[in-house]
Amino acid sequence: MEHTAVGDLWDRVIGAQPDPPVWLVVAMAAVALGAVLPHGAWRFTRNAVTIAHEGGHGLVALLSGRRLEGIRLHSDTSGLTVSRGKPTGLGMILTAAAGYTAPSLIGLAGAALLAAGHITALLWGAVLLLVSVLIMVRNAYGVLTVVLTGGLFLLVSWLAEPEVQAAFAYAVTWFLLLGGVRPVFELQGKRRRGGAPDSDADQLARLTHTPPAVWLLLFHVVALASLVGGGQRLLGL
C-alpha cells in the first residue's frame, strides 16, 4: 500500500496536467504586472525577486567550486551572498553575474515546464529550491521571508484544486519574467545618479576590466529575451 502511495505521488509530480484556458494565462500576466509595476506593491513583492537573485549567486558559487558561507535577506529588499574562494577567475565572474540574471532564467525554465504541462513539478521544484536557500540563510528576516514563500508554494501544491494550482503557477512564472526586468532598470538608474558603486555590474567590471555598461547591457538582454521567450511559451505561440 505504501509503495502504491509513493508511486501515485511520483506520478502526480512528474505527470502532465491539462493546459489552462488562454484567458487564465493572460489574466495571470495582468496579475503579475500589477505586482511589479506599482511602487507600493513592488516594495513588498520585490522580496521574492531578491530570494531568486541571492539564490542565483549561491547556486552558481557552489557549482563553480566556491564555498558558500551564507545568504542574508533584508527588509529593504536588498540581500547579500557571501562565498569564499579565489577572488578572481571564471568562478567569481559567473557567481557575480548570476544574481540579476537568475529571476529571469528561473522564470524561463518555469515557462518551459508549464508549456509541457508540468504544473505540479514546477510547484514542487520551487519548494525544493526554497528549502535549499533556507539552509543557507543567516538572518531572521531572511528565514521568515523564505519560510513564508515556501509555505505558500507547499500549501498550493498540496491542498489547492488543479485550477488554482495552474493559476498560481502561471502567476508566479509571469512574475519572475516581469520582475526580472525591473531591477536591472533600477540598477541603471541608481548608477546614473552616482549610487550603487559596488553593484554586481561594478564588481564584474573590476573582475573583467570592462565597462560596467557592458554588464548592464547583458543583464538587460537576458531579462528581456527571457520575458519574450517565456511569454511566447506561456501563451503557446
Query: Residue 38's pLDDT band (boundaries 50, 70, 90)?
Result: very high
CA gap 153, 206 in Å, rounded: 38
26, 73, 190, 210, 223 from 235: Cα distances, Å: 8, 33, 34, 38, 18
47, 79, 83, 131, 168 from 75: Cα distances, Å: 8, 9, 22, 20, 24
pLDDT in tens, 78-90: 999 999 998 889 9
Query: Residue 195's pLDDT band (boundaries 50, 70, 90)?
Result: confident
**Is pLDDT of 50 > 80?**
yes
**Alpha-carbon torsion angle 145, 147, 152, 157, nearest 10:** 140
Least confident stretch, 72-76, 164-168, 190-194: 190-194
Residue 11 confidence (pLDDT) = 53
**Is pLDDT of 19 > 90?**
no
The residue ranking higher by pLDDT, 11 or 114, is 114
The residue ranking higher by pLDDT, 194 or 130, is 130
pLDDT in tens, 124-172: 999 999 999 999 999 999 999 999 999 999 999 888 899 999 999 999 9
What does 93-152 look like in DSSP terms, one character per residue? HHHHHHHHHHHHHHHHHHHHHHHTT-HHHHHHHHHHHHHHHHHHB-SHHHHHHHHHHHHH
Residue 14 confidence (pLDDT) = 64
Residue 8 confidence (pLDDT) = 53
Cβ-defined contacts of 204-212 (< 8 Å, 24+) = 204/93, 204/96, 204/97, 207/88, 207/92, 207/93, 207/96, 208/93
**Is pLDDT of 6 > 70?**
no
Instruction: Report residue 46 as a C-alpha cell.
Output: 520585490
Query: Residue 98's pLDDT band (boundaries 50, 70, 90)?
Result: very high
Please name which of 42, 50, 52 lies closest in space to residue 74, comparing C-alpha atoms: 50
**Is pLDDT of 18 > 90?**
no
Residue 12 confidence (pLDDT) = 58
The domain limits of the chain are 18-41+101-235
